[in-house]
Chains A and B, each alone.
Chain A
Amino acid sequence: MAMIEPAQIPLAGIPAPLIAGVVLATSLGLFAYIMYKRIGLLRVGLPDPRVDRIGERIKMMLLYGFGQLRQPRYLGAGIMHILLFAGFVLLSLRSLTLIGRGFAADFHLPLMGGSAGFAYEVIKDYVVLVVLVVCVVAIVRRAVFKPERYSHPGVEGHEGEAYIILGMVSALMLTDMIYDGAGLIGRGEPLQPGLFPAASLGAALLSGIGASTAQALHVLGYWAHILVFFSLLNFLPISKHFHVITAIPNVFFAKLDRGAIKPVRHDVKEWMDLPEGQIGAGTFQGFTWKHLLDFVSCADCGRCSDNCPANAVGRALSPKMISIKARDYAYEHYPVFGSPVQVNDKKFAGDIVTEQEIWACTTCGACERECPIFIEYIDKIVDMRRYLLDQGEIPQSLQKPLQQIKKKGNAYGGAKNKRAAWTKDLDGIEVRELEPGDSCEYLFFVDSCGSFDPRIQQISRSFARIMHKAGADFGILGKDESDSGNEVRRIGEEGLFEQIAEKNIEVLQERTFKEIVAFDPHAFNAIRNDYPVTFPVLHASQLMARFLAAGKIKLGGDYLQGRTVTYHDPCYLGRHNSLYDEPRGVLNRIPGMRLKEMTRSRSRSFCCSGGGLLLWYENEEEKERMGVRRIRMAEEVGAQVVVTACPFCLINLEDAIKVTGNEGKIEVIDLVELVDRSLI
């Protein structure tokens, strides 16, 4: 039996290839126009150099773009997405082939004739079924199980778009099955479920139809497929599914340096001279083009918000909503058809994204670490803070500590000449306050908390004892040290950050040392990632690991007394600087260590609510302190000792111990203190 192919059947008297040509040209023309407008949208953003380090970027794109490496962090949804993505890639050849068959009945892609083509046909047929199943599962999951992370509190959601897309993709698969299945029936060929499961299933479902119906369905399936395909193509860039097109470029252009904050402007060095209102991101146009690309690339998957500690405790922040609201704003103000509209005079930072959202962030980085396509949030939040701060609008609770840093170099209001006062109670150990010209092996950067907070001074003393015991030649900056500025910068006070960083750089350069060492991950991060001058800098855990490896210190005793220990990864040590194994390596050298990891550990660690200036920040919306939430997680694994490696985690978690009635039941201790207590 002969089957007439779609290309050979005129529709309403018009030759099929002509229709195919018109459909192709119209769709591609429309798509090109929409993409032109969307790229134009990115052009309203500020410059952001993202084409350096091409090798690294290609690697990122292959691993995380095509490799989808972050997807399995959510195992079920991740696998489904990987299947869908792989299906898209594989079926793109099929789509091209089908488009070609509108012009010539026996069209095939180059090299896709013969056995390669046959093999592809087989693979494609399996993929069609897999994609169809995944779509059905996804629809059911959304409709019935309604995962919390897909919700859009407060604004109109884009739930409908998800169903449209899933429906369209399913339709693509079904029309393909009808086209192929009807073809099988029409040609009278036997079904080969083992080789062509989708086509065979299509034929089986259509069994019993006559030859003319088969012929009609073959043609109908074909044209329906083509129309759905081009509709989908054009729907993508106007919906939340733009990520299908932008995700891979977004990963390619991703921020490569974690831990650092972007400069105020990439294109203006003397940013302080910029006119009023142009510091930071007060308007949509105040973001960089890459940040705008982030906005339109967000797929609303909600993994960021699902991991955001601020969101977890009821603060106003939900990272994904920043992207969603920004995208809504973008599409409203920069429509595909017509010229840009100024609908209202709403401020982007303050009205679209509220001040409560902007100040709720601890910059812990959980959102960025989770995003499958590397959307950035910290830099955007900091840019919005920069704008608000330049307008004089920052929470009252943060004003005083910032002023103290400006005047005295520390948020505690302590006198500069008392910065080394903590060294007095060190029975016998002399801590050298380095003068200009002096040299040492390890320059111990104590930072403000280690110098002035009575609880944290204990860690400073512990660390001095450890270095003394190891016979290390070390010194401190003492009165010449200023706050590291890590939080000053993240609060958005760039001018003050530059001032204190310059001061620290100057005093550091006046002294010679092999390496800087800090036990506060915030100081460690600022010096390592934010300072414009590169210094060799270690975190205390790295130096202690080195001392242990070299046998310079030995650990013993039974301080832990068989208690169960858990380790809390500080954000600025783990997520921002990838130091997960060093502190654990040190822990495991302590005799009798019984380490039990919390569910949220390593890159999924849960922020204690932040350090530095954030210690002063009073949030009014939260229902529970983040530290309390964290202690509950420690309780879950039956921990009796929570070890951390950050002074602010220590303060927040010790507070939480008291609030949760765990005093005497759970002990929070800094890794440095634990090592000090275990020295033999």
Chain B
Amino acid sequence: MDIIVCMKWTPDTSEADLAVDKKGMDIEKGDLDYDMNEWDRFAIEEAVRIKEKLGGKVTVVSVAPEEVEEVLRESLARGADEAFQLWDDACDGSDGYATAKVLAKFAQGRKFDLILTGTLADDDCAGQVGGMLAAMLGIPGATLVQKLDIADGTMTVLRELEAGLSEKLEIDLPAVVSVATGLNEPRFVSVRAVRKVASAEIPCVDLAALGLAGTDVGDAGARVRIEKVFLPPEGEGAEMIPGKPEEAAARLAAILKEKGGIS
């Protein structure tokens, strides 16, 4: 079972003071630390577990500049067999569509049985790449997968739906599966684990090697254009409830009843 995992390199905004950049098209990213997209950690873990069970090879790819090397190396420490950086300066500004194009080209040049991605990315939450990739490759796709079983060449997945519902699908391989967080417990990567793969080579594949032109990617290849990025205006209507705990609780209950929150 040869598996390709698409991993996104995203800024860690959890404890940062976010600010919009001067052009108003993006956030200030200069001071931010970058990390592996949380969702993709689960995809890598799942791929490695499948490999440990069924054999084969796990390849991790990321469309990101050279600083991505650290997290690609981390993916090797997590048990992936090889990792590639797919990049050209022209890729800067790619949307989901352009990124999917790069990934599709990479996949078309290789033998694979399964492609895994996270369903969403921590930063833009667009959730486009998995679906587009499946469409471009002409193979089936599924998103928000919370459980995945492969036996005798067929794959069964459970999808997470609203209201606690689950959907069970049987999917032909090859396919693109976008996973939900929580479908496994990603292993811990120690300093030693990273050191063991310190000398592994992480090649960079450029557009030419992929058979793409500069105009296929980046702003030129994108189908979505960002109009404006801004912090939401401070809303009105927040009400601080003063008073003793009992009084405050009574007032809160009254508001909830009034607005139909409780009956």
Interface residues of A (CB under 8 A from B): 272, 279, 389-394, 396, 398-399, 402-403, 406-408, 412-415, 417, 493-496, 498-499
8 closest Cβ contacts across the A-B interface?
A392-B187, A495-B191, A413-B15, A495-B192, A394-B188, A496-B191, A392-B188, A272-B192
In contact, B189 and A392 (Cβ under 8 angstroms): yes
Most interface-central of B16, B187, B192, B193 (chain A CB within 10 A): B192
Bound together, the chains give a CA A410 to CA B15 distance in angstroms of 12
Q: What are the residues of chain B within 8 A of A389 when measuring CB–CB?
A: 188, 190
Q: What are the residues of chain A within 8 A of B185 when measuring CB–CB?
A: 396
B35 CB–A CB distance under 8 Å: yes
Nearest-neighbour CB distance to chain A for B261, whole angstroms, equals: 26
What secondary structure prevails in chain A residues at the interface with B?
helix
Choose from B78, B186, B195 the contact partner of A272 (Cβ within 8 Å).
B195
Bound together, the chains give a CA A412 to CA B190 distance in angstroms of 19
B14 CB–A CB distance under 8 Å: yes
Most interface-central of B12, B35, B188 (chain A CB within 10 A): B188
Bound together, the chains give a CA A392 to CA B189 distance in angstroms of 6
B162 CB–A CB distance under 8 Å: no
Q: What are the residues of chain B within 8 A of A495 when measuring CB–CB?
A: 190-192, 195
In contact, B193 and A392 (Cβ under 8 angstroms): yes
Q: What are the residues of chain A within 8 A of B12 when measuring CB–CB?
A: 407, 413
Q: What are the residues of chain A within 8 A of B78 when measuring CB–CB?
A: 392
In contact, B14 and A390 (Cβ under 8 angstroms): no
Bound together, the chains give a CA A272 to CA B193 distance in angstroms of 9
In contact, A399 and B188 (Cβ under 8 angstroms): yes
Within 176-222 of B, Cβ neighbours of A (below 8 Å) are at 185-193, 195
Bound together, the chains give a CA A609 to CA B35 distance in angstroms of 31
Bound together, the chains give a CA A402 to CA B187 distance in angstroms of 13
Beyond known contacts A392-B189, A415-B15, A495-B191: 8 more, CB 8 A cutoff: A392-B190, A413-B15, A415-B16, A417-B31, A493-B190, A493-B191, A495-B190, A496-B191
B33 CB–A CB distance under 8 Å: yes
Q: What are the residues of chain A within 8 A of B14 when measuring CB–CB?
A: 413
In contact, B187 and A414 (Cβ under 8 angstroms): no
Bound together, the chains give a CA A413 to CA B12 distance in angstroms of 9
19 A-B contact pairs sorted by A residue (CB < 8 Å):
A389-B188, A390-B190, A390-B192, A392-B193, A394-B188, A398-B188, A399-B186, A402-B188, A406-B191, A408-B33, A413-B15, A415-B15, A415-B31, A493-B191, A494-B192, A495-B191, A495-B195, A496-B191, A498-B191
- Closest A residue to B182 by CB, please name it: A396
B side interface size, CB within 8 A: 18
Nearest-neighbour CB distance to chain B for A500, whole angstroms, equals: 10
Within 1-42 of B, Cβ neighbours of A (below 8 Å) are at 12, 14-16, 31, 33, 35
Bound together, the chains give a CA A548 to CA B16 distance in angstroms of 41
Within 72-89 of B, Cβ neighbours of A (below 8 Å) are at 78
Nearest-neighbour CB distance to chain A for B37, whole angstroms, equals: 14
Nearest-neighbour CB distance to chain B for A403, whole angstroms, equals: 8
- The total number of A-B Cβ pairs within 8 Å is 49
Q: What are the residues of chain A within 8 A of B35 when measuring CB–CB?
A: 403, 407
Bound together, the chains give a CA A408 to CA B16 distance in angstroms of 12
Bound together, the chains give a CA A182 to CA B106 distance in angstroms of 99
Nearest-neighbour CB distance to chain B for A663, whole angstroms, equals: 10
In contact, A412 and B15 (Cβ under 8 angstroms): yes
In contact, A393 and B187 (Cβ under 8 angstroms): yes
Bound together, the chains give a CA A493 to CA B189 distance in angstroms of 10
Nearest-neighbour CB distance to chain A for B230, whole angstroms, equals: 23
- Closest A residue to B194 by CB, please name it: A495
B40-60 Cβ-contact flags toward A at 8 Å (1 or 0): 000000000000000000000
Nearest-neighbour CB distance to chain A for B239, whole angstroms, equals: 24
Bound together, the chains give a CA A391 to CA B79 distance in angstroms of 11
Within 155-171 of B, Cβ neighbours of A (below 8 Å) are at none
In contact, A496 and B31 (Cβ under 8 angstroms): no
Q: What are the residues of chain B within 8 A of A407 when measuring CB–CB?
A: 12, 33, 35
- Closest B residue to A488 by CB, please name it: B191
Bound together, the chains give a CA A407 to CA B36 distance in angstroms of 12
Q: What are the residues of chain A within 8 A of B195 when measuring CB–CB?
A: 272, 495
Q: What are the residues of chain A within 8 A of B189 when measuring CB–CB?
A: 392
Q: What are the residues of chain B within 8 A of A414 when measuring CB–CB?
A: 15
- Closest A residue to B189 by CB, please name it: A392
Nearest-neighbour CB distance to chain B for A358, whole angstroms, equals: 14
Nearest-neighbour CB distance to chain A for B103, whole angstroms, equals: 26
Bound together, the chains give a CA A41 to CA B75 distance in angstroms of 41
Bound together, the chains give a CA A323 to CA B188 distance in angstroms of 28
Nearest-neighbour CB distance to chain A for B143, whole angstroms, equals: 23
Bound together, the chains give a CA A408 to CA B35 distance in angstroms of 12
Q: What are the residues of chain B within 8 A of A496 when measuring CB–CB?
A: 190-191
Nearest-neighbour CB distance to chain B for A478, whole angstroms, equals: 17
In contact, B188 and A393 (Cβ under 8 angstroms): yes
Q: What are the residues of chain A within 8 A of B190 when measuring CB–CB?
A: 389-390, 392, 493, 495-496
In contact, B188 and A499 (Cβ under 8 angstroms): no
Q: What are the residues of chain A within 8 A of B186 when measuring CB–CB?
A: 399
Nearest-neighbour CB distance to chain A for B246, whole angstroms, equals: 14
Bound together, the chains give a CA A393 to CA B31 distance in angstroms of 32
Bound together, the chains give a CA A181 to CA B6 distance in angstroms of 89
Q: What are the residues of chain A within 8 A of B33 when measuring CB–CB?
A: 407-408
- Closest B residue to A499 by CB, please name it: B191
Nearest-neighbour CB distance to chain B for A497, whole angstroms, equals: 9
Q: What are the residues of chain A within 8 A of B188 when measuring CB–CB?
A: 389, 392-394, 398-399, 402
Most interface-central of B16, B35, B191 (chain A CB within 10 A): B191
Bound together, the chains give a CA A350 to CA B185 distance in angstroms of 17
Bound together, the chains give a CA A655 to CA B16 distance in angstroms of 26
Q: What are the residues of chain B within 8 A of A408 when measuring CB–CB?
A: 33
Most interface-central of B16, B31, B78, B193 (chain A CB within 10 A): B193
Nearest-neighbour CB distance to chain B for A385, whole angstroms, equals: 11
Bound together, the chains give a CA A333 to CA B78 distance in angstroms of 34
Bound together, the chains give a CA A619 to CA B96 distance in angstroms of 40
Nearest-neighbour CB distance to chain B for A410, whole angstroms, equals: 10
- Closest A residue to B185 by CB, please name it: A396
Q: What are the residues of chain A within 8 A of B31 when measuring CB–CB?
A: 415, 417
Nearest-neighbour CB distance to chain B for A280, whole angstroms, equals: 11
Q: What are the residues of chain B within 8 A of A390 when measuring CB–CB?
A: 190, 192-193
Q: What are the residues of chain B within 8 A of A394 when measuring CB–CB?
A: 188
- Closest A residue to B31 by CB, please name it: A415
- Closest A residue to B45 by CB, please name it: A392
Bound together, the chains give a CA A394 to CA B190 distance in angstroms of 10
Bound together, the chains give a CA A396 to CA B12 distance in angstroms of 19
